[in-house]
A and B are shown apart, each in its own frame.
Chain A
Amino acid sequence: MAKKPAKSAASSGGKKKGGLASGLGMLVMGVPLVILFLPTVVLLMFAMLPTVVAYMVERGPHRYGFICVGGLNFAGVAPYLLNMWFERHDITMTLDILSNVFALMMIYGAAAFGWLLYTATPSLVGSFLSLTSSRRIAALKAQQRKLIEDWGPEVMQSDEDIGSEAASKGPATVGGGAMR
């Protein structure tokens, strides 16, 4: 009992140390990268806003909404990003793009399409699943009808329904062997 608080204190102290180290590492690595790729970072910061919003508004254990929006959002921003990378990678270019209405419409439209896809796909899948189970039910009912036709409506009785009757009745033969 006495060891536990000490151990947990040690581990929390370790975590804090680790978190601090990684934060420090990120800062050391991240800041030069941000400075180096500032136009890209700025572009992505503004262009990927719908994805960030989607991530923030989505609740529940399975978060697929922001992935869906993010995928298409990124597809929308990709032509401009590549254009910037291959032609002129500076902040002016970034501002040009962000001030281009057509470009913004393209980027945010793609994100909106992603959301639309996220909203519409479940009903499509639901319809498909429903269609499959209806067919299965019809097939099962047809099979049951055939069984009734071949064996009579008694086949519908479950063992629990006829258990006591069958037990008292026993086998239907009189016994004493066949007369040949």
Chain B
Amino acid sequence: MAATATAKASQKATTAEAGAQKPATGAAMAPVSLRDRFEIQPNKPIPDLDMPSAKAFEVQDRRGAGRPLYALVCRPDILQRHLVMRSLRGMQNAGMLQFIEGGVVDWMPAGRKLVVAIYERPAGGKMMPDLNGTCEVVPDQLFAKKIIKPLHAALQELQTRATTHRAIRPDNIYLFDTKGDRLVLGDCVTAPPGFDNAAIFEPLETAMCMPEGRGTGHYSDDMFSLGVTLLFLMLGHNPTRGRSADEVMRLRLQQGTYATLVGENRVPISMIEVLRGLLHDDSRERWTIETLDLWLNGRRMTPLQPRLEKRSQRTLKIGEVEYATARGAAWGLMTNWSKAGALLQEGRVEVWLRRGLEDNEKADALVTAMKVVEAMQGDKATMADLMIARAIMVLAPDAPLCFRDVRCTLDGFGTALAHAVLRKGDVKAFADIISREVVKFWVQAQMIYNPEYAQADANFKELRALLLNNAKGFGIERVTYELNENMPCQSPFLEGEYVTEIKELLPALEHVSKGADTKTWPVDRHVAAFVAARYERDLKPQLTAMNEGGSERNALGMLSLLAVLQWRLGPEALFGLTSWLGGLVQPIINSYHSRERRKRLEREIPRVVRKGSLPELYNLLDNAEERGSDGEGFARAKAEYAEGRRQVAALETGQAARDENALRMGHQAAAIGSVSIGMATILILLLVRLI
């Protein structure tokens, strides 16, 4: 199921990418403008400067002094590093390709909005066209000066800006001039951190992750990538060529990265110290930018020795592979998820820990973790997954968060989730990680205290509360937007748009209102979650109304939500959107009892629509005074009706009483009449006689 979803998502992503990059024709040939200054030429691609997640095109700067620029047009199905764009703006460093500008453009060839990043164009192209290619080897005596120094300078500058590069690899290093004298580090904003890096460029902890789940990481991750890149450039080729990625990973876990990558390759003696320092698998021991700086300034240090993990006398076979270390076994479990459950249930991992690895502490921890999971409530499959996840935490506490096919670091969780949402993939594993409090267990399993972990644990607790609320404005959508500041709103209404900021939402909805299905409310789960995550003021009344029973309350909540946004953030007039909502407010009008009032409101809506004001539409439909008087009038009318009904019933059912009454009254009347006649007769006769 997940595989199908992933396959579909990949297919979709490929289609989107192809759409974004297909040769432009007709109107699509027209230059695309960014900030009214940079004109990107869709008909002038530069394949040599393409990135794995972005395609390169020529750019004209209207205000520029003729300096060559190029644009990287990003894929729509991955998140770009907008915060890093902000940080790099204005940065000038000899070791880094200058980032000029970035933003969203209406990319005609793809018929949608896409993110572009504009850089100064390097004249000499890439140092190494791809990882399987070769490059000219720089002489040993010039290596530090020509290669390490500029890259070191770039990383130092990035550290002063509190930014990690996370895309350091030979095919992202450029020769800035045609002579090849100046080396620069390339783009790092068009894809998530480490996304385009092959696993060998990542430290073991992040190499185990899925590419989108590697997270922003730390400077030490950049230092590791730098070490691998330097090795590539020293050798002039890929040191792992001829070996599969899986095999390299297994060897790294078994014998350490340095031994795996350097191996039998000839490395200059002077560089061994640098490589050992940079390729150290323990991030705390790894060389920092300061250590490298000292080395560049001539200070020589004793080469670091890799600290090898305890090896087992006998191996643990998981799948087709045999593992001798605890971290290796953890990797085996996470990559053989379907078989891992049985291995744990049969107790083979525990036995191997006790007898093979002779680590009773770990074995006891594993048994305790499994017992805790067994005692928990939940469906069997999820509990089995949780058991595997906890077993991995016991075997390798520094391994990433693992749950089914999700493998990510704490800070990479958000990006990984965003990718699943962007590719319309399965997000159940992510939801389970939050709802089953996998992060809490992961933090508990860590050997070293880190305040960041405690903070992450608290954040995930808050996310859990949001996730478990199934109402509009909450759920996994809300979690996605909360975790990814630059996640564009994924509402189907906004397909083709790129809305990352709250103030862009209403203009985007206004833009799509011409072609949208106006019988549907524009506030779907994604829009509601996006607004709730991005808007800093309290939206509780609106969200509550939206999720209450009754179509009129839902409609009123949605209208109020959008009206508040227009009121606070503008724009002043939204004719299309107001017209769209104006056609959907019938339930609100119907919530008034008075037919006369309803007719009046219906008459007034076109006037408000012509003004394009949602707050006015809301005020018209949800006027407290009007509601009060309507309610009072209705209560009076109801009382009047009930009284009338009571009287009618009394009149209709009182026939017998009335008959009795009539009989009595008739008899009385007859008696009075009779006596009166008698008296009158006497009186008349007496008068006749007397007169």
Contacts and interface: CB of A to CB of B under 8 A. Distances in A.
Interface in A38-84: 62, 64-65, 67-75, 78-79, 82
B637 interface: yes
Contacts of A140: 644, 647-648, 651
30 contacts: A64-B670, A64-B671, A68-B671, A71-B671, A74-B681, A78-B685, A79-B681, A82-B686, A118-B667, A120-B670, A121-B669, A121-B670, A122-B666, A122-B670, A129-B661, A136-B647, A141-B648, A147-B640, A147-B641, A151-B595, A155-B634, A169-B549, A169-B553, A171-B631, A176-B560, A176-B564, A178-B618, A178-B622, A178-B623, A179-B567
Tell me the interface secondary structure of chain B in the complex. helix
Nearest to B564: A179
A117 interface: yes
B298 interface: no
B585 to A, nearest CB: 13
Given A78-B678, A122-B662, A179-B619, A172 B638 contact: no
A133 B651 contact: yes
Interface size class on chain A is 35 or more
A125 B658 CA distance: 10
B131 to A, nearest CB: 57
A114 B541 contact: no
B596 interface: yes
Interface string A130-173: 10010011001101100111111011111100000000110111
B662 A137 contact: no
B663 A78 contact: no
Contact of B670 (A118, A157, A159, A178): A118
B173 to A, nearest CB: 55
B641 A150 contact: no
B689 A82 contact: yes
B674 A69 contact: yes
B454 interface: no
Nearest to A72: B674
Contact of B644 (A143, A169, A176, A179): A143
A4 interface: no
Interface of A: 62, 64-65, 67-75, 78-79, 82, 86, 114, 117-118, 120-126, 128-130, 133, 136-137, 140-141, 143-144, 147-152, 154-159, 168-169, 171-176, 178-180
B633 interface: yes
B683 to A, nearest CB: 10
B541 A155 contact: no
A71 B678 CA distance: 5
Contacts of B596: 150
B23 interface: no
Minimum-distance CB pairs A-B, first 6: A122-B666, A71-B674, A126-B662, A179-B615, A121-B666, A75-B681
A175 to B, nearest CB: 4
B404 to A, nearest CB: 41
B600 interface: no
B52 interface: no
B651 A68 contact: no
B653 to A, nearest CB: 11
Nearest to A85: B689
A176 B542 contact: yes
B556 A174 contact: yes
Nearest to A124: B666
B618 A117 contact: no
A64 B674 CA distance: 10
Interface string B603-645: 0000000000001001100111001000101100110111011
B637 A147 contact: yes
Tell me the interface secondary structure of chain A in the complex. helix
A128 B666 CA distance: 11
Interface of B: 541-542, 545, 549-550, 552-553, 556-557, 560, 563-564, 567, 591, 593-596, 615, 618-619, 622-624, 627, 631, 633-634, 637-638, 640-642, 644-645, 647-648, 651-652, 654, 658-659, 661-671, 673-682, 685-686, 689
A26 B254 CA distance: 143
B560 A70 contact: no
Given A62-B664, A72-B674, A125-B665, A82 B648 contact: no
A150 B633 CA distance: 10
Nearest to B682: A78
B678 A150 contact: no
A128 B675 CA distance: 23
A136 B680 CA distance: 37
A74 B618 CA distance: 85
Contact of B552 (A72, A147, A172): A172
Contact of A151 (B542, B553, B634, B680): B634
B638 A62 contact: no
A122 B665 contact: yes
Nearest to B643: A140
A126 B638 CA distance: 33
Nearest to A130: B658
A176 B654 CA distance: 53
B678 to A, nearest CB: 4
A154 B96 CA distance: 73
B463 to A, nearest CB: 26
Contacts of B641: 144, 147-148, 155-156
A64 B672 CA distance: 9
**Which residue of B549, B662, B673, B680 has the most chain A CB atoms within 10 A of its CB atom?**
B662
A122 B157 CA distance: 114
Given A64-B667, A122-B665, A175-B541, 17 more contacts: A68-B670, A68-B671, A70-B678, A72-B678, A74-B681, A75-B677, A122-B670, A125-B665, A140-B648, A147-B637, A147-B640, A150-B637, A168-B549, A179-B563, A179-B564, A179-B567, A179-B619
Given A65-B667, A68-B671, A144-B641, A155 B593 contact: yes
A159 B638 contact: yes
A2 to B, nearest CB: 47
Contacts of A154: 593, 634
Given A129-B662, A151-B593, A151-B637, A171 B627 contact: yes
Given A68-B671, A155-B593, A129 B658 contact: yes
A172 B553 contact: yes
B595 A64 contact: no
A64 B664 CA distance: 9
Nearest to B624: A173
Nearest to B592: A172
Contacts of B637: 147, 150-151, 155
B546 to A, nearest CB: 9
Nearest to B619: A178
B160 to A, nearest CB: 45
Contacts of B541: 174-176
A68 B648 contact: no
A154 to B, nearest CB: 6
